[in-house]
Amino acid sequence: MLTPDTATDRAQAAIARVRTHGADAADAILVADTALSVSMRLGALEDVGRSEGSELGLRAFVGDRSASVATSDLSDAGLDALAERVVAMARAAPADRWAGLAPADRLMRGAPPLLDLDDGADVAPEVLREQAMAVEDAARAVAGVTNSEGGSASSHRAIVAFATSHGFAHGYAVTSHSLSASVLAGSGGDMQRDYAHHSARHHGMLEDPQTVGTRAGERAVARMNPRRIDGGAMPVAFDPRVGGSLVGHLLGAIAGPSIARGTSFLRDALGTAVFPTGIAIHDDPHRPHGLRSRPFDGEGLPVSPMALVEGGVLQTWLLDSASARQLGLEPTGHASRGLGGPPGVTTGNVHLAAGAVTRDALIADIERGVLITELIGQGVNGVTGDYSRGASGFLIERGVVTHAVAGITIAGNLRAMFATLVAADDLAFRQGVNVPTLRVEGMTVAGG
């Protein structure tokens, strides 16, 4: 497998070749990865999967025209053919006055920050098998669990290198490890499914399989015998494992391309109060061993912690270089880069700050409402902010979480939902986007 240094050398070699074929500017990203996974079902080995591969994406500019291609052939001959092809494609592409490399004076200088993203682990299949078996066994041991969709354990390591024709060239390594279990409770037409998982950059930071499996089993059992409820306007609480989707809708709405096109429901909201004053949302790409940590963005710019929302006020857009040029602003270090096409926009480790009340206190004054633990479908309009999604969870009655509900629909508008959002104090860092339990007032709930 390539190292960060050898991957960076290959990316630079691609840049050199594309320049000799007539490109005015270019950038290249190389991703080499190895993944191993083991899954068990009903105590028997179900699957062992291993994958290895290396791919390079090359983008070339000829004037204000550009094109992108990708290849898994990293040989000198392969890079020569790729360079010739992408330059020919760029010459035939439509002009785009906003496209181009990031400003040279904004590129990251010096060594990338050390974020402890690579534990160097080479986890043996036998270890993953034991973990997969243990996580499923723990889930199946919960009283009321009657069937299993399986337990799995996986380990992945990737090398990422990025280079540009105007002076940037760096690479880094990341590892990720995960455990999961999915089981069913009940029987016949009353069966209910749920799951649990945990991921970490370092294998030693994973939760133990028994904890993850037991959580999956208990969640499935809690969903048994869901009841129908009468619909209406009521408060809705979002469990942390689904509440992050609300922040995800915010991130999509403040992404530079959407703002530049005028297709976001928040297109005029910069510097205004979008949330109550107690809400803060931060992006930290430098968190050690964070699931979305990275030393630089997809254009070679430095990344740094920043407030996206402070005191309820929207502080920034998320800008790559192209959208920044369209808006007359500076890029914010949020560019993402795939193997094909121009950069997009992404974030690092995002969290909505914990509030001042416990989860129990957050729902204590809800006479009648719902706690959502699963969302279904994608019924969100990014232009208008209209929101309507299928859901399941639990009924809240007189401040107490009672019986399970399923097949309901929750609806509202994200502007109004953001304006009434309240956060509990149970924030935990488990995912790329982390939130505590959230409460939104006055949503429309249609009973299942």
Report the pLDDT value the prediction gives residue 400, as an integer from 0 to 100: 97
Q: Which of 93, 90, 70, 92 is nearest to 82 (CA)?
A: 70
How many helices and strands, by DSSP H and E, does the chain display? 9, 19
pLDDT (0 to 100) of residue 377:
87
448 has pLDDT over 80: no
Backbone angles phi, psi at 278, to 5 degrees: -80, 0
Write the pLDDT tens digit of every residue in 60-81. Answer: 999 999 999 999 999 999 999 9
Query: pLDDT-based confidence at 323, cuts 50/70/90?
Result: very high
Residue type at position 126: E
Determine how β-strand 335-336 pairs with β-strand 344-345. antiparallel
Query: What are the tokens at 127?
Result: 């270890």
Cα 296 to Cα 115: distance, rounded to the nearest angstrom: 11
φ/ψ of residue 446, rounded to 5: -100, 125
Number of Cβ within 10 Å of residue 277's Cβ equals: 10
CA distance 73 to 55: 7
pLDDT band at 190 (very low <50, low <70, confident <90, very high): confident
- For every residue of 133-184, DSSP letters joined together read HHHHHHHHTSTTEEEEEEEEEEEEEEEEEEEETTS-EEEEEEEEEEEEEEEE
Is the predicted pLDDT of residue 122 greater than 90, yes or no?
no
